[in-house]
A = this chain, B = another copy of it.
């Protein structure tokens, strides 16, 4: 049974107070790096897995996508997404990532922002995404970084004065369930290693294009003291992968 944490009212309300929930893509620190990984969207059919409020779907059609389908397990998320969307090119569907069901080669781009760490078994998902992409298509996604998810608590180690000493890594090679504290709630996430993200992609047939660990920009750092701690450990991993185009006939 997949957890549907975002349909719990108290958690959903907390999520709504996050900067990225209010400000959208421009308030997500990793967005400039994520945006760079996206291909030209003109005329593309786009699938967004774990679409949340629908920011990426709207971005896609605003940048020329022919269609965008957003999926999310949470009814509340999709209600919010629909209330923010007035564009017939966008469709929202309630489903878990593991259970998406579309015809093969339906999409030119599949993207996913911070959702795959809720997925327990990544290999079948990769195989399915590969089939859903047209030849030449792209997969671009972000997840919490394996350094961030390994130990489970997702918190720093502090000294007696409450200062952050370092980020703890433990149980790195023990893939699987972690009970994390997120927005004051216990949330189930799934840790996997870097290899655990990349090998299933390669095995499914993808070629790896880019692997980025986003960090605060040198412009942002002087403006916001709190960003300096983001230099101490990576929080996210961005991956761009590619399905080869059909070989040209000669």
Question: Residues of A at under 8 Å CB distance from B?
Answer: 147, 150-151, 157, 165-174, 193-195, 198-199, 202, 207-213, 215, 230-234, 250
Contacts and interface: CB of A to CB of B under 8 A. Distances in A.
A166 B151 contact: yes
A167 B170 contact: yes
A232 B195 contact: no
A232 B168 contact: no
Nearest to A174: B231
B172 A231 contact: yes
Given A147-B147, A208-B208, A168 B157 contact: yes
B166 A231 contact: no
Nearest to A172: B233
Nearest to A207: B207
B167 A168 contact: yes
Contact of A170 (B166, B173, B202, B210): B166
A5 to B, nearest CB: 26
A91 to B, nearest CB: 34
Nearest to A166: B168
B167 A169 contact: yes
26 contacts: A147-B172, A150-B233, A157-B157, A157-B168, A165-B168, A165-B170, A166-B169, A166-B170, A167-B168, A168-B168, A169-B232, A170-B232, A170-B233, A171-B231, A171-B232, A172-B231, A172-B233, A173-B215, A173-B231, A194-B213, A195-B212, A199-B212, A202-B210, A207-B208, A208-B208, A250-B250
